[in-house]
Amino acid sequence: MQVLTSLILAAFAAYAGAWYFGAFEGDFALLLFMATVVTGLYWLAERLYFLPQRKKAAAALEAQAQQRRAELSRMGIAKVDGDIEQATSRIVMQPWWLDWTAGLFPVILAVFLLRSFLFEPFKIPSGSMIPTLRIGDLILVNKFVYGLRLPVINTKITEGHPPRRGDVMVFRYPPQPSLDYIKRVVGLPGDEVDYVNKRLIINGKPVPTTAVPDFFNDETMSYSKQYQEVLGTHTHRLLIDPDRPVYMPDDVTNFPNRQNCHYSVEGFSCKVPAGEYFMMGDNRDNSLDSRYWGFVPDQNIVGKAVFVWMNFSDLKAIGPIH
């Protein structure tokens, strides 16, 4: 078992290392699930077989020691060398290969359940959601608000409530589902989303937008035009660059239901299909979003971003996500 366990641990380490160095796109949910299953099997084997066997061996050693003491006592020898308690405790002690498997199972199981069904941590990698979220923000994503989903396969098992317009949502990037993206829900199923001359219009009604003081980006050391937008029940801020086009035509892909969208030099109009959502970044002119790769199906939803729990470069960023 020591050799087998060494091979299993080496396989996990090789997978993690190859993923870290970019040899392939890893799947942390799958890795955590496999770690939970493997350590769980070791935990069961430890409780049902290995530990009873070690206790049995320790009991046999104790019985032999007692028999030997009795024989020596009959011979008039009262003092016996050797510490039998230390020997039996060493026999019962968990070996290293069970420490690194069965011993870790409770911790791995707790992380797996917490991450899969309650809250999952994410780190913001890009500036597409500035000013709401900045690069380096560490956020928590509510995994149950839209309904519980089975890990790895992402199949919904409870309903929850559907995403609302204005929610900041994490989802599996449709062109490459192994990647997680974060954007704001702009269009719900059945909505008509228009973006004309950098004004957002939902179902024929312009979304209320007001200018606020310019935003200073300390990473680029520049100012950007900042606006306050009311989207559904959410009031949030967004950035608009008046010198950038509404979208980059060459970057628009041939996504599913592409026929639902119509593009022009002034902007675009999209009819959101049933069971899908239209997403946009708050940094409107620096966001690769539904304008380019299409709609997000319900089965791609990961959860709702609810809280920034740390940003090491700006502690003021900590707080609820609006």
Could you tell me which residues come within 8 angstroms of residue 321 by beta carbon, excluding any fewer than 6 positions away? 132, 133, 139, 168, 305, 306, 307, 308
Give the residue-averaged pLDDT of 119-145: 94
Q: CB–CB of 290/278 below 8 Å?
A: yes
Give the residue-averaged pLDDT of 91-104: 92
Looking at the predicted structure, is the pLDDT value of residue 68 above 90?
no
**Residue whose tokens read 């990698």:** 125
Q: CB–CB of 202/193 below 8 Å?
A: yes
Could you tell me which residues come within 8 angstroms of residue 7 by beta carbon, excluding any fewer than 6 positions away? none
Q: DSSP states of 234-267 as a string? A: EEEEEEE-TTS-SS-GGG----TTGGGEEE-SSE
Cis preceding-peptide flag for 151 (omega within 30 of 0): no
Looking at the predicted structure, is the pLDDT value of residue 82 above 70?
no
Nearest to 278, CA basis, from 170, 203, 146, 185: 185
Alpha helices in 21-125 (DSSP H): 28-45, 51-74, 84-92, 96-99, 105-117
Looking at the predicted structure, is the pLDDT value of residue 217 above 70?
yes
User: How many Cβ atoms from other residues are within 10 Å of residue 224's Cβ?
Assistant: 19
Residue 240 is predicted with a pLDDT of 94
Lowest mean pLDDT among 18-22, 209-213, 249-253: 18-22
Looking at the predicted structure, is the pLDDT value of residue 80 above 80?
no
pTM of the model: 0.85
Q: Catalytic pick from 116, 143, 183, 198?
A: 183
Give the residue-averaged pLDDT of 307-319: 88
Q: Which amino acid is at 17?
A: G
User: How many Cβ atoms from other residues are within 10 Å of residue 218's Cβ?
Assistant: 9
Domain 122-320 is of which CATH architecture?
A: Ribbon (2.10)
Structural domain boundaries in the chain: 2-113, 122-320
Q: CB–CB of 220/239 below 8 Å?
A: no
Nearest to 69, CA basis, from 85, 81, 87: 81
Q: DSSP states of 290-316 as a string? A: HHHH--EEGGGEEEEEEEEEE-TT-GG
Q: Which helix (H) or strand (E) element contains residue 213?
A: strand 209-217
Residue 215 is predicted with a pLDDT of 93
- E strand spans, 64-204: 119-123, 138-142, 168-172, 180-187, 192-196, 199-202
Query: φ and ψ at 35, to 5 degrees?
Result: -65, -40
Interatomic CA distance for residues 133 and 184, integer angstroms: 11
Token duo for residue 167: 């929610």
- How many residues comprise the chain? 322
Task: Please state the separation of Cα 264 from the chain's center in Å.
Answer: 37
Give the residue-averaged pLDDT of 53-77: 82
Residue 154 is predicted with a pLDDT of 87
Residue 139 is predicted with a pLDDT of 97
Collapsing DSSP states into helix, strand and coil, what is residue 272? coil
Looking at the predicted structure, is the pLDDT value of residue 195 above 90?
yes
User: How many Cβ atoms from other residues are within 10 Å of residue 291's Cβ?
Assistant: 25
Interatomic CA distance for residues 46 and 53, integer angstroms: 9
Q: For residue 183, indicate whether it is catalytic.
A: yes
Give the residue-averaged pLDDT of 276-286: 96
Q: Catalytic pick from 128, 224, 287, 290?
A: 128
Q: CB–CB of 225/211 below 8 Å?
A: yes
Looking at the predicted structure, is the pLDDT value of residue 79 above 70?
no
Could you tell me which residues come within 8 angstroms of residue 210 by beta carbon, excluding any fewer than 6 positions away? 227, 228
Interatomic CA distance for residues 273 and 243, integer angstroms: 31
